């Protein structure tokens, strides 16, 4: 079982929902937008989810392009999410929309291959297959 790097999220004290995210050596803000009671000091949790999907997509595609020595200047991914009623109408389902922009002159076949490959990036796989989340309380300090 492969364990990935750990992330720590702590309330920053700069507002009701403002947080400090520590990921390795990186320190990032997180918050809710003002429309949801936050102060918009950083991306929201769902924006970070979209960031993860977009970054994973671009990295996966760039690795493939380099391996195959294709001439592609730039990859950009636009993302948005929405919640819609599930087919049975009893719950809401998440829908992630990804638009891939390719700068360069890839052939039609190469373009289609990259779209297909985007579905296989690790974050896409995690989101589409679901996950198991284990939550535990830390031991009380003595």
- CATH number where 78 lies: 3.30.300.20
Is the Cβ–Cβ distance between 54 and 79 less than 8 Å? Answer: yes
**Does 89 share its domain with 102?**
yes
**Does 98 share its domain with 50?**
yes
Ranges of residues in the chain with a pLDDT under 70 are 1-4, 142
How high is the pLDDT of residue 2? 63
How high is the pLDDT of residue 26? 95
Q: Which pTM does this prediction carry? A: 0.89
How high is the pLDDT of residue 87? 84
CA distance 107 to 120: 20
**Does 29 share its domain with 97?**
no
Domain interval for residue 123: 44-129
Q: How many domains, the chain? A: 2
How high is the pLDDT of residue 1? 58
**Does 107 share its domain with 70?**
yes
């Amino acid at each position: 079982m492969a364990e990935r790097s750990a992330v720590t999220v702590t309330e920053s004290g700069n507002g009701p929902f403002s947080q400090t995210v520590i990921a390795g050596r990186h320190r990032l803000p997180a918050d809710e937008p003002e429309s949801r009671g936050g102060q918009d000091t950083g991306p929201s949790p769902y924006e970070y989810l979209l960031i993860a999907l977009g970054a994973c997509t671009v990295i996966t595609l760039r690795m493939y392009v380099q391996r195959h020595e294709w001439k592609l200047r730039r990859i950009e991914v636009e993302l948005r999410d929405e919640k819609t009623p599930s087919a049975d109408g009893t719950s809401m389902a998440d829908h992630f929309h990804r638009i891939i922009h390719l700068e360069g002159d890839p052939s039609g076949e190469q373009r289609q291959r990259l779209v297909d490959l985007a579905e296989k990036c690790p974050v896409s796989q995690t989101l589409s297959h679901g996950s198991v989340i284990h939550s535990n309380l830390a031991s009380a300090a003595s």
